[in-house]
Amino acid sequence: MNFIIPEIWYLFLSQMFFVQIESNTPEFILFLGRFHPLILHLPIGGLLLVFYFDIVGRIRKKYPETLIKNGLGFSTFFASIACVLGYFLSLEGGYEESTTNIHMWTGIGTAILTLVLFLIKRSSKENLEKLFFPLFVMTIILISITGHFGSILTHGDNFITQYSPLKTKTKKPQAIDSLRYFSDVIYPILDAKCVQCHNATKQKGGLSLISEEMIQKGGKNGALVQKGNALKSHMIKRILLPLDNEEHMPPAGKNQITTDELWLLKHWINNGVDFKKKALAYQSNDTLISLLENYIEKDIENIPEASIRALNKVVKAGFSVHRIAINQPQLIVKFTKDSISEEAVNTLAGISEQLVELDMNTTLLTDDMTKGLKYLKRLEKLRLDNTKITNKTLNYLIDLKKLKVLNLHHTAVDNDGLKVVLEKIALNDVFIWNTNVDKEFVRQVEKASKTKIHEGIFEGFTEIKPLKPPKLITEQSLFSDSLLIVFNDPARSAKLFYSLDGSDPDSTSTRYNEPIKIVKSTKLKAKMYQDEWLPSPIFEKDFFKIKYKVTNFEIVNEPSTKYPGAHKIFDFIEGSTLFSDGKWTGYEGVDLISTINFEEPKSINGVAVSCLRDSGSWILFPKRIEVYSRNENTSFQKVGEMDYDATHQREGGDKSQKRFNIKIKDVEAKYLKIIVQNAGKLPKWHQGAGKVPWLFVDEIVIQ
């Protein structure tokens, strides 16, 4: 040990001199430097363990002399190696100089003190033994400081305090119109996903993202963003690279940029990379507003679940009840029966803690029935339109401090009644079309407050908008015998109609009341209808009954070793839009060519090939699919084909699945050859233009 450790320090000092006179550090030296994070934990663990045994030995009066000496030798050896490798790692650059120097010299100091402790234990001089424990305590303190500055270099200066309960948290704005686009929306994304490697102390690629000036400065590869063109910006290009590409950012293993965050980053860049504007200074759209909701402070209350007994009473009284969101206790309630009563309204008191939206529009509701409304303290939206109420009912609402939206259109309320409510409650929106409230009063209210008074029938509640398409609970689309198709329950009073013959459904089609059982390949189409709404877009999905299970087949080009398993294309297990979910086979730059042997002739009338597109990960749909058939003693003949424009431009990062259906005139065949052609090259609009794309296939179904 006395010989080895001086040799290590000689190597360290000679390499320091060597790299000072060399303009470029040899790659082998940089390679060795990458082992620093692996080695550094050995002396840390060794020292802490030896320190523990030293203290225990002193307390128990049974000192493990040999263990302490050998442990210090072990720690000294690896501390010395860690110093050498750490210096090699620092030669890569990208680390803040002053922090690096502190980390390096405290590390060297730790190694030297560890060596001194080791030499003391080897010495027989009693006066040196008295220095041992104080020096050991000093060594533990010094290695802690070394480790702290090491964490700053690798994880940023807030790594330890980031989730500390003592950390002062910056309060988010409480309203969307208070959000500043960069400081309140964009920078938190960068801070969470990028700043760990691009900060003042660690500047990978010469890039720091801690301030406006540093972002505009860019890094060693030039400007980070190109104003007005997100897809040509270096930042977005790196984000959109495949995850297994070494230049993809953030690196694999780190928290990745989400789809919503990517949308916001691109929107900010495309709109000029402004660091001062508020978020709503840009042209507003539904997507932006929806995403900005995640960046405002929301009041989170501990609301209990409504009791089953109370819910049963409400439902029995004639109300439909829905949660505002899955796993949330807040409720949306609507009266659905023909006649309403005071007793029915009073049942709502049992769910007053959970009730946030109440709809009693187009009922025979009168003032005598509405006294129970005053107990609904958490109510935020209330519809009383098309009822027989007057100003008297409005007096029951004055203590509902959380109420923000009130619909009174086609009722007998007037200026006096509305004035009483507005003096007590800070409403956001009131709908008064076809009431006795006059326009002069409306102007006075809007001038004196922030309340928006909606006078037209086509505003707010009564604006005619399309419903959202229905959603399926059933995810499976392949089956061998029969399949039950289940939809999510239609929203409130909406009605769902469907067809199974490929025709477009309307309100005269079959209404969905229970799961649909199918026993053959089927094209399902569905459409939602609801009063005062436009019909939804048509939802459609193909379901395939498995006619032949393929067990004997050959593959010409094996899939990539990264996404292997040629058998997956015939296992009838469908993949998601996540290419790495283990259910897809991936082909890089080559075609999928499969020959199937049915053992005996089968009647074939179609082939379906399920493929994936994720252009941000360099995955495109096939450009062409061909199907050939043959029998014994005959050659393959083409029986079906389909072309597809696989390279048409979509904004990077899009993900979609598509089942390509190739129809075939009935043919008897013992052998079937299917060629799924790779798109060839990535198109000009793609950040990887000219390079080969991936082809991902999860299922081939023979019909």
pLDDT at position 288: 80
Clarify whether residues 267 and 333 are in a common domain: no
Assigned domain for 170 exists = no
> Using CA atoms, how far apart are residues 319 and 517, in angstroms rounded to an integer?
30
Assigned domain for 349 exists = yes
Q: Is the dihedral of CA 226, 229, 234, 236 positive or negative?
A: positive
Assigned domain for 317 exists = yes
Comparing 469-478, 491-500, 588-597, the range with the smallest average pLDDT is 491-500
Q: What single letter denotes the amino acid at residue 337?
A: K
Assigned domain for 300 exists = no
392: pLDDT strictly greater than 90: yes
pLDDT band at 225 (very low <50, low <70, confident <90, very high): confident
Comparing 242-246, 490-494, 529-533, the range with the smallest average pLDDT is 490-494
Q: What is the CATH number of the domain that holds 568?
A: 2.60.120.1190
pLDDT at position 301: 65
Look at residues 403, 395, 398, 399 and name the one whose alpha carbon lies nearest to residue 379: 403
Clarify whether residues 312 and 458 are in a common domain: yes
> Using CA atoms, how far apart are residues 348 and 369, in angstroms rounded to an integer?
12
Residues 248-275: what's their mean pLDDT? Answer: 83
170: pLDDT strictly greater than 80: no
How many Å separate Cα 542 from the centre of its chain? 28
Give the pLDDT confidence of 311-365 residue by residue, as tens digits.
Answer: 999 999 999 888 876 567 889 999 988 789 999 999 999 999 999 999 998 888 9
Question: How crowded is residue 252: how many other Cβ atoms within 10 Å of its Cβ?
Answer: 11
pLDDT band at 16 (very low <50, low <70, confident <90, very high): low
Clarify whether residues 436 and 502 are in a common domain: no
Spatial contact of 383 and 361, defined as CB atoms under 8 Å apart? yes
| Ramachandran area for residue 532 (φ above 0: left; ψ -120 to 50: alpha; else beta) | left
Instruction: Tell me the three state secondary structure of residue 118.
Output: helix
> Using CA atoms, how far apart are residues 660 and 677, in angstroms rounded to an integer?
12
Last residue of a domain, one of 125, 155, 185: 155
Instruction: Give 426's contacts (C-beta < 8 A, 6+ positions apart).
Output: 449, 450, 451
Give the pLDDT confidence of 668-683 residue by residue, as tens digits.
Answer: 989 999 999 999 888 8
Last residue of a domain, one of 516, 545, 574: 545
DSSP-derived letter for residue 185 is I
> Using CA atoms, how far apart are residues 139 and 72, in angstroms rounded to an integer?
12
Clarify whether residues 74 and 202 are in a common domain: no
Clarify whether residues 253 and 316 are in a common domain: no
Instruction: Give 429's contacts (C-beta < 8 A, 6+ positions apart).
Output: 404, 405, 406, 451, 452, 454, 460
Buried b (16+ CB within 10 A) or exposed e, 389-428: bbbebbbbbeebeebbbbbbbbbbbbbebbbebbebbebe
Clarify whether residues 454 and 490 are in a common domain: no
Clarify whether residues 586 and 682 are in a common domain: yes
Comparing 156-165, 238-247, 298-307, 616-625, the range with the smallest average pLDDT is 156-165
Give me the percent of the chain exceeding a pLDDT of 90.
18
Six-digit token string for 191: 């801070």
Of residues 160 and 437, the one with the higher pLDDT is 437
Q: Is the pTM of this model over 0.75?
A: no
Clarify whether residues 260 and 323 are in a common domain: no
Clarify whether residues 436 and 492 are in a common domain: no
Spatial contact of 643 and 623, defined as CB atoms under 8 Å apart? yes
Assigned domain for 346 exists = yes
pLDDT at position 371: 93
Look at residues 95, 100, 89, 88 and name the one whose alpha carbon lies nearest to residue 204: 95
Assigned domain for 288 exists = yes
Clarify whether residues 235 and 285 are in a common domain: yes
Residues 209-227: what's their mean pLDDT? Answer: 80
pLDDT at position 91: 79
Last residue of a domain, one of 427, 462, 497: 462
Q: What is the CATH number of the domain that holds 432?
A: 3.80.10.10
pLDDT band at 367 (very low <50, low <70, confident <90, very high): very high
Spatial contact of 280 and 184, defined as CB atoms under 8 Å apart? no
Give the domain extent around 210: 176-295
Clarify whether residues 92 and 141 are in a common domain: yes
240: pLDDT strictly greater than 70: yes
Assigned domain for 360 exists = yes
Six-digit token string for 386: 């098309």
**Environment class of residue 75 by beta-carbon count within 10 Å: exposed (0-12), middle (13-18) or buried (19+)?**
buried
Spatial contact of 470 and 528, defined as CB atoms under 8 Å apart? yes
Angle at 81 between CA 80 and CA 87, to 5 degrees: 95
Spatial contact of 91 and 29, defined as CB atoms under 8 Å apart? yes
Instruction: Give 124's contacts (C-beta < 8 A, 6+ positions apart).
Output: none
Clarify whether residues 442 and 512 are in a common domain: no
Residues 24-44: what's their mean pLDDT? Answer: 81
Spatial contact of 429 and 452, defined as CB atoms under 8 Å apart? yes
Q: To the nearest 5 percent, what fractions of the chain are helix, strand and coil?
A: 35, 20, 40
**Environment class of residue 383 by beta-carbon count within 10 Å: exposed (0-12), middle (13-18) or buried (19+)?**
buried
Give the pLDDT confidence of 48-89 residue by residue, as tens digits.
Answer: 998 999 888 889 888 898 898 888 889 888 888 888 888 888
Question: How crowded is residue 578: how many other Cβ atoms within 10 Å of its Cβ?
Answer: 13
| Number of domains comprising the chain | 5
Assigned domain for 605 exists = yes
460: pLDDT strictly greater than 50: no
Average pLDDT, the chain: 82
